[in-house]
Amino acid sequence: MTNSIDYNAWRVHEKDGNYVGALERCNTDDLPDNEVLVKVSYSSLNYKDALSASGNKGVTRNFPHTPGIDAAGEVVASDIADFAAGQPVIVTGYDLGMNTPGGFGEYIRVPAAWCIPMPQNWQARTAMIYGTAGLTAGLCVAKLLKMGLKPEQGKVAVTGASGAVGSIATELLATLGFDVVAISGKADQSESLKALGAAEVVGRDALAAEKKPMLKPAYAGAVDTVGGEPLAELLKYIQPGGSVACCGLVAGPQLQTTVLPFILRGVNLLGIDSVEIPLAEKQAVWDKLSGPWACKQTEKTAREIGPKELDSALKAFLKGESSGRVVLVHGD
Ligand SMILES: NC(=O)c1ccc[n+]([C@@H]2O[C@H](COP(=O)([O-])OP(=O)(O)OC[C@H]3O[C@@H](n4cnc5c(N)ncnc54)[C@H](OP(=O)(O)O)[C@@H]3O)[C@@H](O)[C@H]2O)c1
């Protein structure tokens, strides 16, 4: 591939143990030698980007680095016949934005196996309103449905409900007819969560540690985006045979639980990975999100930022203060 193009990227440098991001000029010659060069028009913000930008070595080993686990744009050049120049694509997950320069740059060069053709009726901006957060919420809901979860079985809970994954999970479940209880630490997001379709909004302290080993069943199922102690508590409230889709760790990666929810109520804890799963599984969820699973309120309320606002927006994620979907627009 012979293109040599100068472009802007928001790159993070390590300086004396501190991690500082700034917009700088780069050249496509310095991108990894992969099959598809993509001009990125939109990216989006996810908790993992905040981890990468703050020097979390479990996400990004080497700096300087361009984060951005999501990208949408147009193929500029390709070594693979399936992706001709001009083809709109979505790229999320795998190593993008971790140790491969990501969507916070105006260009990425990635393996063809990471690229999904843009669904017919979608634009790059819409795709990035969903991004990895939407894909993950969709995967959680798809797995709960596969386990037989139905609206008539009772309420479903979403933790971290105002966050990127949580807010889309809330709207998607409500759109599918579920009675959603949004569990959130942000009292000021109550109205927004109701506008997404939450039937009830309860404070995060509803999942504060209880001494009791089991609690009165309250939820037929749940999407958990936080992990840690809240997840251990949530499991005590799940109805017999119910399931919890577990995808996040903002409250901690440890899970200290008894086996009681599993052996007394047959509760299922479902793991969700949006990163390494086969492309076909991602494609199935993208197709639904671009059709019957569209989350119109999320699409309407997503916030746009430019690269200069990345620093403060990413810091808000680390403090648990971010809400809804934040889309990064490249250009100007
Ligand atoms: N498995 C996967 O493939 C996958 C994919 C995407 C994301 N994730 C993970 O999912 C999680 C959520 O990601 P996101 O992008 O949605 O992040 P996010 O926008 O920051 O949302 C997380 C939400 O969790 C709540 N929260 C924050 N700190 C908390 C704490 N200490 N205890 C309890 N709740 C807390 C907050 O919502 P409230 O104020 O409303 O409570 C926050 O908005 C992250 O851990 C991320 O790494 C995993």
Give the distance from CA 135 to its chain's centroid: 7
Q: How confident is the model at residue 1 (pLDDT cuts 50, 70, 90)?
A: low
Q: Where are the alpha helices (DSSP H) in the chain?
A: 47-53, 124-146, 164-175, 190-195, 228-236, 260-264, 279-289, 296-301, 310-318
267 CB near ligand 1 (under 6 Å): no
CA 162 – ligand 1 centroid, Å: 9
CA separation for the pair 42, 44 (Å, rounded): 7
Number of residues written out for the chain: 332
First and final CA of the chain: distance in angstroms? 27
pLDDT, tens digit, 9 for 90 and up, residues 174-203: 999 999 999 999 999 999 999 999 999 999
The residue whose CA has the least distance to atom 36 of ligand 1 is 160
Q: How confident is the model at residue 222 (pLDDT cuts 50, 70, 90)?
A: very high
Whose tokens are 């979403």? That residue is 158
Q: Are 298 and 133 in contact (CB under 8 A)?
A: no
Per residue in 299-319, pLDDT tens?
Answer: 999 999 999 999 999 999 999
pLDDT tens per residue, range 270-296:
999 999 999 999 999 999 999 999 999
What pLDDT, on a 0 to 100 scale, did the predictor assign at position 180?
98
Domains of the chain: 6-118+302-329 (3.90.180.10), 132-271 (3.40.50.720)
Take atom 11 of ligand 1 and give the residue whose Cα is closest: 248
| Contact yes or no for 215/237 (Cβ under 8 A) | yes
Ligand 1 pocket member 230 (CB < 6 A): yes
Nearest atom in ligand 1 to the alpha carbon of residue 51 is 47
Helix (H, G, I), strand (E, B) or coil at 239: strand
Residue 253 has pLDDT above 70, yes or no: yes
Ligand 1 atom nearest the C-alpha of 250 is: 45
pLDDT category at 121 given cuts 50, 70, 90 is confident
Mean pLDDT of 108-119: 96
Q: Measured from the CB, is residue 39 less than 6 Å from ligand 1?
A: no
Q: How much is the average pLDDT of 70-82? A: 96
Task: Give nearest CA residue, ligand 1 atom 27.
Answer: 320
Q: Is 112 helix (H, G, I), strand (E, B) or coil?
A: helix
Neighbours of 306 (CB within 10 A): 13
**Strands (DSSP E) found in 16-67:** 18-27, 36-44
17 C-beta neighbours (distance < 10 Å), count: 6
- The pTM of this model reads 0.96
Is 322 touching ligand 1 by the criterion CB < 6 Å? yes
Structure tokens belonging to residue 249: 């760790």
Q: Is the CB of 320 under 6 A from ligand 1?
A: yes
Bond into 64 cis (ω within 30): yes
Distance 50 CA to ligand 1 centre (A): 11
% of the chain surpassing 90 pLDDT = 95
241 neighbors 262 (Cβ within 8 angstroms):
no
What is the 225 CA–ligand 1 centroid distance (Å)?
Answer: 5
Structure tokens, 178:
């579920």
Buried b (16+ CB within 10 A) or exposed e, 159-188: bbbbbbbbbbbbbbbbbbebbbbbbbbbee
Q: Is 158 in the pocket of ligand 1 (CB under 6 A)?
A: no
Average pLDDT estimate for 221-235: 97
The answer, yes or no, to whether any atom of ligand 1 lies below 6 A from the CB of 270, is no
Distance 251 CA to ligand 1 centre (A): 8
Average pLDDT, the chain: 96
Contact 272 CB / ligand 1 (< 6 Å): yes
For residue 2, is pLDDT > 70?
no
* Mean pLDDT, range 39-57, rounded to an integer: 97
Indicate left, alpha or beta for 160 from its phi (over 0: left) and psi (-120 to 50: alpha). Answer: left
The angle that helices 124-146 and 279-289 make with each other, rounded to 10 degrees, is 110
Query: Is 131 touching ligand 1 by the criterion CB < 6 Å?
Result: no
- In this prediction, residues 46-58 reach a mean pLDDT of 96
| The predicted structure's pLDDT at residue 294 | 97
What SS3 class is residue 42?
Answer: strand
Ligand 1: centre distance to CA 236 (Å): 21
* Model confidence band, residue 3 (pLDDT cutoffs 50, 70, 90): confident
